Chains A and B, each alone.
Chain A
Amino acid sequence: MAQRIVVDPVTRIEGHLRIDVEVDGGKVRNSWSSGQMWRGIEVILQGRDPREAWLFTQRICGVCTTVHAIASVRAVENALNLEIPLNAQYIRNLILAAHGLHDHIVHFYHLSALDWVDVTSALKGDPNKTAQLAETLSPWQGNSRREFEKVKNKLADFVASGQLGIFTNGYWNHPAMHLSPEVNLLAVAHYFQALEYQRKANQVVATLGSKTPNIQNLAVGGVANAINLDNLTTINMDVLYKVKDLLAEVQTFVEQVYVPDVIAIGAMYPEWLGYGAGVTNYMAVPDLPLDAAGTKFDLPGGTIMNGDLATVKPITHFGDPYFQENVSECIARAWYDGDWTRHPYEEETVPKYTDFQDDGKYSWVKAPRFDGHPMQVGPLAQMLVGYASGDQAIKTEVDSALAQASSIAHVKLTPAVLHSTLGRHLARALRAKLLAGLALKHWDLLAANIGKGDYTTFNKPEFPKGEQRGFGFHEAPRGTLSHWVVIKDGRIANYQAVVPSTWNAGPRDAKGQLGPYEASLLGNPVADAEHPLEVVRTVHSFDPCLACAVHTHDPQGHEVARVKAL
């Protein structure tokens, strides 16, 4: 008998996501993804100065502040055809790369690892054996027997004091958990270490952005950082070397801990390379620009349709018409007035709430489409686009990771396994490794450019009379983000943000095509409908930017369970 699972927490800022699944015969047969918060940033931005838009957009969300700031200034710069100085480009890139590193590390260790790692089992791990195992995986110096003993004792203290604290939401002893106590202990030790390294990445953002969350140093036309190597209050040699040291430390952690952990844990759950593919149309935008105009990039962008790598089509530059012309949003199944599909420049946001209707409207999230197709966005999309278009750095990382996972799992793994729940985790880890290397590369580029005597960081924007339209994109940690602005006589006339989590978490469209979250859940196993850990695993693999709640229902629509997936 089919059962329906609903995941639906009530959060303080009402920004949560609700996942409904119908379970029958131990598998998910149908699913709905519903954003429970009304959004419409243009309501706040209309009539304001475009130079200030980024201050507001970075408050759309408390975690993804930086990404909305950057997409906003890029949109206004695109509308004005304004190039920014090279220094500004590099400084922005350092901030973006560091933010991405912070976000990917937090996502794996602190927001999703406990879907796979059983903390209570770690208490049974033998520190000696754990150290021996760790030695086969990585040269990391934080893998000593003493370190594992320390972590085990700390954990035991927490359990004894009844204060599992941040671990209280786990699915301990769930039948779908099957790592050995030693692997669990290893992962828990790295969970604690990751707290330290994600913070180092964030320190780079704070140092260059003046503050975090909510960076202060952006401007339409560049950055507000002054560069003066002799001045203590500007970007000087001390600041630059502090940033470099932090980035190098984070790089070591990513290479020696994050990537090996994901490969090992992934190889120990090989069945999860077969679940969770869903929508296999992928999109990424290019990022980390290397020139003032945004025509050359270090991370590739493009689209892939139907999981066929041969269909790859590049997105090459800021303002690329292939991207601009093909993005639309559909409200047929969302709580807005009408059933249109429109280009972001032409959208309006008129809320019209019904109730949750399986066959009608059921979400506040609009359904973004690319040339009419739902697209999966995120690190997996970027790694696949790079792989398909022959990006050498990406190809090397993906092939080497698959070879290592193959040797642990004792099966030959091909790139096809990336279309899966665990594929998203692996792609994110590999993207983090690339970001770490590229951050240091852009540090070198910045230092070299300053060394040439170029201290420029800002080109002043001019707003002509009349109307200008522009869009800015950014490949954020969760995937393709784009902001779209219409300016009239120097004021904002319309503004839309099409964010990664709407691409992935969006509802059905007018044609009934499922969004990526929805499609990825079909066929997922669910061993225990009251504890739908498997549903949580797949949803978490997308790095949802909202808390989510899973509701399980039977075929008659009766709710069987309602759990939080934080």
Chain B
Amino acid sequence: MSRTAILGLGSVLMGDDAAGPHVLRRLEAEYELPSEIEILDLGTPGPELAHIVEGLDALIVIDTIKAPGDPGDLHVLRRAEILSGNGAPDRLSPHDPSLRGALVAASLLGRSPEDVLLIGIVPGDNHLGIGLSPGVRSALWGATALVAAELARLGYEVPRRKERAGDKVWWEKD
């Protein structure tokens, strides 16, 4: 059976860095997702990102990205671009999730996913504090739609919910 995972990366305590986890919540609120797809809010994982991606067939990652543009701009990268280091930062610390490092480590073991999509959101403010800046908040719908489109391309049926479920996240106060 083919395995697909959707990963949200970023710290929910660091302003716009929470964009990835937010997109996961919104995805679940707007779409009926096949139960076999793994949806993981990973925070800011270190080396263990490697074994989370190991053995997957398809991987979708939503993360903030250091790239040109305004807060909320979206950048989409595929596996080859990520591995070439073109636009994807290398691992800078045991705390920094590096998709590239994780994919290289997984391929060392011959277990890297082939189908990889990174949806990068340009952050505004990612300093300590809870809450997204307006630019990033308004980009959530676009990023969510990109995830749904990728799932459709992978052959999944992802119908929109008739009634949108709540998308409140646990880390924001009422």
Question: A interface vs B, CB < 8 Å?
Answer: 9-16, 38-41, 43-44, 48, 55-56, 59-63, 65, 106, 110-111, 154, 158, 163, 165-166, 168, 192, 195, 198-199, 202, 211-214, 545-548, 564, 566
Is there contact, CB below 8 Å, between A566 and B128?
Answer: no
Bound CA span A214–B108, Å:
26
Is there contact, CB below 8 Å, between A547 and B127?
Answer: no
Interface residue? B77 (CB, 8 A): no
User: How far does the Cβ of A95 sit from chain B's closest Cβ, in whole Å?
Assistant: 15
The listed residue (B13, B40, B94, B127) touching A59 by CB distance below 8 A is: B13
The listed residue (B13, B51, B96, B173) touching A11 by CB distance below 8 A is: B96
Bound CA span A44–B131, Å:
11
Specify which chain B residues have a CB less than 8 angstroms from the CB of A13 in the assembled complex.
Answer: 11, 14, 17, 44, 95-96, 126
Is there contact, CB below 8 Å, between B94 and A547?
Answer: yes
Interface residue? B78 (CB, 8 A): no
Per the CB 8 Å criterion, the residue count for chain B at the interface is: 40
Bound CA span A554–B50, Å:
40
Is there contact, CB below 8 Å, between A59 and B128?
Answer: no
- The residue on A at minimum CB distance from B170 is A55
Interface residue? B144 (CB, 8 A): no
Is there contact, CB below 8 Å, between B93 and A59?
Answer: no
Is there contact, CB below 8 Å, between B96 and A195?
Answer: no
Is there contact, CB below 8 Å, between B12 and A59?
Answer: yes
Is there contact, CB below 8 Å, between A545 and B95?
Answer: yes
Is there contact, CB below 8 Å, between B127 and A38?
Answer: yes
Interface residue? B109 (CB, 8 A): yes
Is there contact, CB below 8 Å, between A12 and B92?
Answer: yes
Given A59-B43, A63-B45, do A11 and B93 touch, yes or no (CB 8 Å)? yes
Given A59-B11, A65-B43, do A15 and B93 touch, yes or no (CB 8 Å)? yes
Bound CA span A280–B109, Å:
41
Interface residue? B48 (CB, 8 A): yes
Specify which chain B residues have a CB less than 8 angstroms from the CB of A15 in the assembled complex.
Answer: 93, 95-96
Can you show 20 pairs from A to B with CB atoms below 8 A apart? A11-B95, A12-B66, A13-B11, A15-B93, A59-B11, A62-B11, A63-B44, A63-B94, A65-B43, A106-B94, A154-B108, A165-B104, A168-B90, A195-B105, A199-B51, A213-B43, A545-B94, A546-B93, A566-B92, A566-B94
Q: From residue 75 to 115 of chain B, which have CB atoms closer than 8 A to chain A? A: 89-97, 101, 104-105, 108-109
Bound CA span A211–B48, Å:
12
Is there contact, CB below 8 Å, between B48 and A213?
Answer: yes
Is there contact, CB below 8 Å, between A62 and B97?
Answer: yes
- The residue on B at minimum CB distance from A547 is B93
Is there contact, CB below 8 Å, between B101 and A166?
Answer: yes
- The residue on A at minimum CB distance from B102 is A166
Is there contact, CB below 8 Å, between A192 and B108?
Answer: yes
Is there contact, CB below 8 Å, between A547 and B46?
Answer: no
Is there contact, CB below 8 Å, between B48 and A202?
Answer: yes
- The residue on B at minimum CB distance from A55 is B170
Bound CA span A198–B51, Å:
10
- The residue on B at minimum CB distance from A38 is B128
Specify which chain B residues have a CB less than 8 angstroms from the CB of A165 in the assembled complex.
Answer: 101, 104-105, 108
Interface residue? B5 (CB, 8 A): no
Bound CA span A38–B64, Å:
20
Specify which chain B residues have a CB less than 8 angstroms from the CB of A44 in the assembled complex.
Answer: 13, 128-130
Bound CA span A236–B157, Å:
35
Q: Please give 14 more A-B residue pairs, beta carbons under 8 A apart, in addition to A44-B130, A48-B173, A165-B101.
A: A9-B92, A11-B92, A38-B128, A55-B171, A59-B13, A59-B171, A106-B94, A165-B104, A165-B105, A166-B101, A166-B108, A198-B47, A211-B40, A547-B93
- The residue on A at minimum CB distance from B43 is A62
User: How far does the Cβ of A404 sit from chain B's closest Cβ, in whole Å?
Assistant: 29
Specify which chain B residues have a CB less than 8 angstroms from the CB of A547 in the assembled complex.
Answer: 92-96
Is there contact, CB below 8 Å, between B105 and A62?
Answer: no
Interface residue? B42 (CB, 8 A): yes
